[in-house]
Structure 1
């Protein structure tokens, strides 16, 4: 294989590895967001129950459901940063407890 062909193959391999990494990071952020929503919902019915009013709980659960609905839509084009921003916005409600 000629040197130029090897360089092209190496560049292509690097590009594919980078794409894989980006996809894995995005998938990880999606999983973290989903886990947060599920965990927070469980905690609101258990260990946080005495620390929130019914109306506060309902508002937070509605936000959690909104996040889960958003997560389960087709999000192939979303970036890792979008998932991070959505989770941070959600945590502003849940982490106040």
Structure 2
């Protein structure tokens, strides 16, 4: 049985981003790749923003459990998401390369 995180109401999505962001940050610190992840995130951000904005506008998805704070036309949580995901990828890749000696 999975825990019901909807008890956090409008802060549910924000809380998940903070939790997974902390995991990503721990990976980045462990692999000394915070700067690399920041560079990758900043490079990808304009593309992710345009994609996110468009998909929200046309109704591809809806985010009901969010704060309701929009910045530049998309939810605050989505802006965070655009840094968490690339950071998780960079941190995981760096950890795998470290462990395999590449």
Tell me the TM-score range normalised by the shorter chain: 0.3 to 0.5
Instruction: Judging by fraction of residues, say which structure has more helix.
Output: 1
TM-score, structure 2 normalization: 0.38
Considering Cα pairs closer than 8 Å and 6+ residues apart, tell me whether 1 or 2 has the greater RCO. Answer: 2
Q: TM-score, normalised by structure 1?
A: 0.39
